[in-house]
A and B are shown apart, each in its own frame.
Chain A
Amino acid sequence: MDNEMTLSFVAVSDNESLARVAITSFVAQLDPTIDELSEFKTIVSEAVSNAIIHGYDEDGKGIVTVHAVRDGDLVSVAVKDNGKGIFDVKKAMEPLFTSKAEMERSGMGFTIMESFADDLQVESEPNVGTVVTFTKKFYSVKMPQIS
């Protein structure tokens, strides 16, 4: 393991950008390409937004934790909340399914996360919380070694 970080914040939507900024800095040392970085930020943004909106109904009290570990060019991230949980994870992960259509949530969050991550797992228990874990390998732009 080369580096590790933990970031915790209350469930308000302002903190979605905080999570993206922190995670962007965390992977900066890998010299990610623009596309790698924006895909990575998108996954984090989707998971954190889900925790804030669905886990806690934006109550401003619940705590969302983003834990990231870097191992070489592989980064693993866990986004955790102790909110209301997902009653049917399989259903929640179907494209276009949303429990908040009135908020114009598109129901594409999990599809996007699964597409951009190398591996994504969702564990959830009603009234206990949800953890979304994913990994992403950074191929980046490798400069030739100067010997």
Chain B
Amino acid sequence: MNYEINMHLNEIAVIRLYGELDHHATEKIRTHISKTILQGNLNTIIWNLERLNFMDSSGIGLILGRMRELNTVNGQTIILNPSNTMKKIFQFSGLASFMMTGTEADAILHARGIVNG
């Protein structure tokens, strides 16, 4: 399990997840992700799952947890490029409307459109 966080304009965090996201992995990365994204004037998290090979319900916990943290600033979440199995997991969990397919640039434009529009 590995991840990268890129900040755009201090407002948008793009988190790329690699490998396998399970309970073991989320326990290791949650605090660090949380600390990193809570700096700056964050209002959007884009989770890029394109290179994530596996995710179970621990991923739902991780994403929902960060959504709660974003609630205080009315922030938004975009789940980018989940696999077919992940799409089903997000649907069961009521997160279907946050999914999007496209590039990170598309997602950033989409996010800024909502924020500024």
> Which A residues form the contact surface with B (CB < 8 A)?
13-14, 16-17, 20, 34-35, 38-39, 41-42, 45-46, 49, 52-53, 95, 103-109, 111-112, 115-116
Hey, which chain A residues are within 8 Å of B7, CB to CB? Answer: none
CB pairs A–B below 8 angstroms (25 shown):
A13-B22, A14-B24, A16-B22, A17-B24, A34-B84, A38-B54, A38-B83, A39-B88, A42-B89, A49-B23, A95-B92, A103-B27, A103-B61, A104-B62, A104-B64, A105-B57, A106-B58, A106-B64, A107-B57, A108-B57, A108-B89, A108-B93, A109-B57, A112-B57, A112-B92
The secondary-structure label for the interface of chain A is helix
Q: List the A residue with the shortest CB-CB distance to B58.
A: A49
Q: Is A112's CB under 8 angstroms from B56's CB? A: yes
B30 at the interface (CB under 8 A from A): yes
Q: Which residue of B lies closest to A19 (CB)?
A: B22
Size of B's binding interface in residues, CB under 8 A: 24
Q: Which of B4-61 contact A (CB under 8 A)?
A: 20, 22-24, 26-27, 30, 54-58, 60-61
Count of CB-CB pairs between chains A and B under 8 Å = 76
Compute how far the CA of A38 lies from the CA of B54 in the bound complex, rounded to whole angstroms: 7
Q: Does B85 interact with chain A (Cβ within 8 Å)?
A: yes
CB distance from A53 to the nearest CB of B (A): 6
Residues of B within 8 A of A (CB): 20, 22-24, 26-27, 30, 54-58, 60-62, 64-65, 83-85, 88-89, 92-93
